Structure 1
Amino acid sequence: MTPPRRRLAVAVATLSIAAFTTACGAIGQAVDCTQVSQEITKITNEYSSSLSSAATDPKAIEKASQDASEKLKTLASKYDGDLAGAVNDMADVFASIKVDDMAGATEAMGKLPEIQAKAVAACG
């Protein structure tokens, strides 16, 4: 995998963790937000591990991205409202990581601050 693709994939995972840890990880937040934050952290950590083992296989990166997207959609289905919407939006970011369309993935990453704001509002 080319270095820009790897950097992009790692950046998505890092920003995803940061977005939901900030949004839902503070003491005193609702249980749903804490659970969502823990699950997202687990999913993104698994994703990061997959990236390490697939560094030379772009198709494996794409598969790992799709797997993370599916797990996030499953997680979102357990909730409703803005919280579910924010998790689904994050799933869409992972789903957009395609070997042949890194520009689309980069564009989707630009939406992470908006997703974070949505999660903060849902958990606030």
Structure 2
Amino acid sequence: MKPPRRRLAVVAATLTLAGLTTACGAIGQAVDCNTAAGEATKIVTEWSSAIGNPDAIGTASETAATKTKELAGKYDGDVAAALNDLADGFAAMKGGDLAAVTEFSSKANGFTSKITAACA
């Protein structure tokens, strides 16, 4: 009778350990997502501050695209894809076109939603 109990104890311990590992992974993902979202927000804020005049749009957008691509390189899956989409949005404004800035601004909520959805 003792061997089946030992097996059950081993199975229960294994399942508990697997559950804790999964929970820690989920917590780690939430922290990573918060970090990614915070860094992306910081990049967007820096870009917004830097585009005070039309001459600065191209340089600020290129810098933001580079920073966002670097940030995306730290993540994988949906988070990286969402950050890469944001970087592509910045890259589209490299020429300093005001129409591109307006288009990007209208898409900004979509980029934020993609990052949030990737973290959900």
Calculate the TM-score normalised by the size of structure 1: 0.61
Q: What is the Cα-based RMSD across aligned positions, in Å?
A: 2.2
Return the match for 1:93 from 81, 89, 92. 89
CA distance 1:113–1:39, shift in 2 (3 Å):
closer
% identical equivalent positions: 48
The residue number in structure 1 matching 2:77 is 81
The count of corresponding residues between Structure 1 and Structure 2 is 91
The structure in which a higher percent of residues are helix is: 2
After alignment, is 32-41 or 63-72 more displaced? Answer: 32-41
Specify every segment of 5 or more residues in structure 2 that has no aligned partner in the other structure, as ranges: 1-28
Structure (1 or 2) with the larger CA radius of gyration: 2
Give per-residue Cα distances to partners, 1:19-69, cap 9 Å, x unaligned: xxxxxxxxxx800111012211221222122123xx2xx332111011001
One-letter amino acid of the counterpart of residue 71, structure 1: K
**Rounded Cα–Cα distance in structure 2 between residues aligned with 1:104 and 1:47:** 14
Q: Does the Cα contact within 8 Å between 2:37 and 2:115 map onto a contact in 1?
A: no
Calculate the TM-score normalised by the size of structure 2: 0.63
Return the match for 2:59 from 52, 56, 63. 63
The residue number in structure 1 matching 2:9 is none
CA distance 1:50–1:114, shift in 2 (3 Å):
closer
Once the two structures are superposed, the pairs formed by residues 8-27 of structure 1 within 5 Å of their partners are: none
The residue number in structure 2 matching 1:3 is none
**Rounded Cα–Cα distance in structure 1 between residues aligned with 2:107 and 2:48:** 20
The residue number in structure 2 matching 1:11 is none
Specify every segment of 5 or more residues in structure 1 that has no aligned partner in the other structure, as ranges: 1-28
**Rounded Cα–Cα distance in structure 2 between residues aligned with 1:46 and 1:63:** 12
**Rounded Cα–Cα distance in structure 2 between residues aligned with 1:34 and 1:120:** 9
